[in-house]
Amino acid sequence: MKEDRVADDPPGPSSTPASRALPRRISPPMTVAVLANLKKNYPHSEHGPSDDAVEYDREETVEAICAALQEPGHRASFLEGDESLVDTLRALRPDFCFNICEGRRGDSREAQIPALLEMLGIPYTCSRVLANAISLDKMITKRIWRDRGLPTVPFQVFTESTAPLRSTLRFPLFAKPIREGSGKGVGPGSVLRTEPELRERVEHILSAYRQPALVESYLPGREFTVGILGNPGSTERRSNPDLYEKDGFHYFPVLEIDPNVGAGRGVYGAEAKLITPGEEGAPLYLCPADIPPQLQKEMYRLTRSAFLAIGSADCSRVDFRLDAEGHPNLVEINTLPGLNPEVSDMCILSRAQGMHYAVLINEILNLAIERHGMLV
């Protein structure tokens, strides 16, 4: 039995009493379209940076999601999230979409497919249009968190490499493209110690990634990521109610990533993220992280606040780094966390808890079904 807890006092990690059993079947089985942008459909452009297509998904990821959805009886099939989608959705007529689309272009690309689905009136998993647009933009996300008093380091956005550096920002600094993920545009060269390094890196981001550069204080401490599943509110009607705390959320054990081990050279960028855990060059993954209970509690509290502040839904992953004093700082939120069963952080941390991949995938679907008021 779960103990009573006050709403702003998340415990954790949540236990997984039904972790090996699939959630109760939502009947009747649904036709579910798994929407993704596959790497193979976006061949590397010779004009783009080397990590151009890093965000897009591998075929094995959509195959794994389809297989997981088929376990409790759903009819699941993959549709590419591109211009053809209106026609393929009309042909398939899915009851629900499982959306992991990165989107094709534009400043809110992760919100493109959700926007299309809302226009067509088709329900889908995870965050909606606005939250996906916000979370893709690291500046807007940080502004919202800062407005809520949540800890996130000071920053400056550069749209030209010659702009003067704000006096409040001191070296070392860290630079990244303002709206990318999967470590795109991030590597050891993102750590900036001098003014020339800053100018060069900002110029690189502006020209290679064709978007502003977010420059923020460098966080020298340990790195963690926290997975959260659920939505605020009652869990009574959930297909797997015991999985959730009273506040409506399941908190996975904290995953520590040590990017000082392997190819990352201190930064968990694209190169480090793509190496299968345990293989040569991979960072060290530790789950549950060996941390004091107070730090774990604080990161769970911040994860929920970060999730709620941007209006996320169903499932997210929140990245943290410790500052020089050992305090956790919010780095970013992933409203569409990677779901590759082998390499994605969300799957590493749920597996570490003993939660079967099919349970994670079906739980995301069931949360979305419940949120849409479709539970039968």
Ligand X SMILES: Nc1ncnc2c1ncn2[C@@H]1O[C@H](COP(=O)(O)OP(=O)(O)O)[C@@H](O)[C@H]1O
The 10 Å CB-count burial string (b at 16+, else e) for 201-216 is bbebbbebbebbbbbb
Q: Is 153 in the site for ligand X (CB under 6 A)?
A: yes
**CA-closest candidate to residue 268, choices 278, 260, 280, 276:** 260
Task: Find the binder of ligand X among 267, 339, 355, 368 (CB under 6 A).
Answer: 267
Could you say which of Mg ion, ligand X, none residue 96 binds, taking C-beta under 5 to 8 angstroms by partner kind? none
Site pattern 76..105 for ligand X (x: CB under 6 A): ------------------------------
Neighbour count for residue 298 (Cβ, 10 Å): 17
* Of residues 313 and 318, the one with the C-beta less far from ligand X: 318
Site string for Mg ion, 312-331 (x = CB under 5 A): -------x------------
Q: Which residue has the tokens 């151009």?
A: 52
* First-to-last C-alpha distance (Å) of the chain: 25
User: 270 or 365, CB closer to Mg ion?
Assistant: 270
Does the CA dihedral 45-48-49-51 come out positive or negative? negative
51 binds Mg ion (CB under 5 A): no
Please compute, for residue 369, the number of CA atoms within 13 A of its CA located in the half-sphere on the CB side.
26
- Work out which of 223, 271, 363, 370 binds ligand X, going by CB under 6 A: 223
- Which residue number, 153 or 365, has a Cβ lying nearer to ligand X? 153
Residue 362 contacts which entry, ligand X, Mg ion, none (Cβ below 5-8 A, type-dependent): none
How far is the CA of 157 from the CAs of 140, 166, 331, in angstroms?
11, 10, 15
Can you read off the two tokens belonging to residue 230?
Answer: 């659920």
- Report if residue 152 touches ligand X, rule: CB under 6 A: no
What minimum distance in Å lies between the beta carbon of 177 and ligand X?
A: 8
Nearer of residues 245 and 332 to ligand X, judged by Cβ: 332
Q: Binds 321, which of ligand X, Mg ion, none (CB < 5 to 8 A, cut-off by type)?
A: ligand X
| b/e per residue 139-166 (b: at least 16 CB within 10 A) | ebbbebbbeeebebbebbebeebeeebe
Phi, psi of 110 (to 5 degrees): -75, -10
Q: Is 216 in the site for Mg ion (CB under 5 A)?
A: no
Interface pattern 111-150 for ligand X (x via CB under 6 A): ----------------------------------------
Interface with ligand X includes 183 (CB under 6 A)?
A: yes
* Spatial distance between the Cα atoms of 254 and 246, rounded to a whole number of angstroms: 19
Question: Is 245 a residue that touches Mg ion (CB under 5 A)?
Answer: no
Does residue 117 sit in helix, strand or coil? helix
Residue 354 and residue 19 in contact, taking contact as beta carbons nearer than 8 Å: yes
Tokens of 79: 């549709």
The answer to whether 259 contacts ligand X (rule: CB under 6 A) is yes
Residues that bind ligand X (CB under 6 A): 153, 174, 176, 180-184, 186, 216, 218-219, 223, 259, 267-269, 319, 321, 331-332
